[in-house]
Amino acid sequence: MPPRYTRLVDSLPATVPFVGPETMERDRGAPFDARLGANENVFGPSPKALEAMRAADAEIWKYGDSTSHDLRHALAAHHGVAATNIVVGEGIDGLLGYLVRLVVEPGDTVVTSAGAYPTFNYHVAGYGGVLTSLPFRDDREDLPALIARATETGAKLVYLANPDNPMGTCWSGAEIAAALDGLGHGCLLVLDEAYAEFAPDGCAVGLPVEDERLIRMRTFSKAYGMAGARVGYAIGAEPLIRSFEKIRNHFGMNRSAQAAALAALADQAYLADVVAQVIGSRAEIARIAGACGLPVIPSATNFVTVDCGGNGDLARAMVGTLGARGIFVRMPFVAPQDRCIRVSCGTAADMAALEAAFAGALAEARDKVGATV
């Protein structure tokens, strides 16, 4: 007899939010020449972080600190808050899952943007929440509409990524703070700040950390170059952060990853250098696309969204033709943003490989779809 699944789990499709590049490489029978689709930081972590990880590996027989004490206190000092305002978890993905488990019961409404980060939706569905999705407006998540819909529906959570994935656009911190004045009683804004270190000045929300309308999610996967280590953290009001202790996996954090994150946080000079390289790479992607007549959307992240125009057919073809040439990129999956492809920033070698493939891939894609744009 099979396991007796819950009625909720039995009703769900078997979904994977993202198909990983390794799966794609196995399917194509060859590795990619440039891995520019997963928004990873190809410049890698601080050498000090790697050194700390190697040193910690010798004691990997020990469980990691279940409270992430040293990392939480260092993060608290970095952000000017108390350690009781920080929870560390297995990337933003893991923390989103814990948060949804904390507040969403079957039938509860959750508001997000159509085409926004799908892993959040995956968690909401897994706990029986009812997703209400609103379209982007002018290639940004429609913050006023999200807040209004959350208030109208009595939603428990409203999700906003700032800067946004997949478009790379952002709202100012002042705009977000002002919008919260319209948020309904008991609703929580989940502010995904995975790309915050790449954002321009003014994007940070200046509200007090004890403001119970807001929880901010941060990660070491992007600017700090540690996507494989799975280290994320949330900043919020102390009662909310304390509630994570009821349900989180207390030994879920890798011991060596904690040590590496602590060292990476301390090496802000290396972080600044990575951000500078990302800015340079954004300009290169814009130049390569522009030389072929394709505009880009100004980016506040470590990727650039290239506007292929049309109804999405050309963008879909471009993902395929670039992939066939060894260049892994992705694209938004909801119209009208699916007219674009999304290219992660990379090294000089990555940019050279992209440039060598781009014009030919575009010509082939246009032939496939009969596009004139």
Angle at which helix 118-126 crosses helix 91-103, to 10 degrees, equals: 40
How much is the pLDDT for 300? 98
CB 257 within 8 A of CB 336: no
- Contact 318/305 with Cβ under 8 angstroms? no
What is the reported pLDDT for 18? Answer: 77
The residue whose two tokens read 């007549």 is 293
Q: What are phi and psi of 234, to 5 degrees?
A: -120, 145
The pLDDT assigned to 282 comes to 98
Query: What confidence score (pLDDT) does residue 13 get?
Result: 86
What is the predicted pLDDT for the residue at 33? 95
Instruction: Give me the pLDDT at residue 2, please.
Output: 82
In the chain, domain spans: 18-44+269-369, 47-266
3-class SS of residue 235: strand
pTM here is 0.95
How many helices (H) and strands (E) would you count in the chain? 13, 12
Task: Report whether the peptide linkage leading into residue 13 is cis, meaning its omega lies within 30 degrees of zero.
Answer: no
Three-state secondary structure call for residue 333: coil
pLDDT of 372: 59
Could you tell me the mean pLDDT of each successive run of 10 residues in the chain, 373 residues long?
88 82 92 96 98 97 96 98 98 97 97 95 96 97 98 97 97 97 96 98 95 98 98 98 97 96 98 98 98 98 97 96 97 96 98 98 96 61
- Please list, residue by residue across 163-180, b when 16 or more beta carbons sit within 10 angstroms of its beta carbon and e when fewer do: bbbbbbbbbbbebbbebb
pLDDT of 231 = 98
Residue 371's pLDDT is what?
Answer: 67
Rounded Cα distance between 357 and 327, Å, is 8
Question: Is the peptide bond preceding residue 163 cis, with omega within 30 degrees of 0?
Answer: yes
Is 3.40.50.300 the CATH number for 47-266?
Answer: no
Per CATH, is 18-44+269-369 categorized as 3.90.1150.10? Answer: yes
For 312: left if phi > 0, alpha if psi spans -120 to 50, otherwise beta; the answer is left
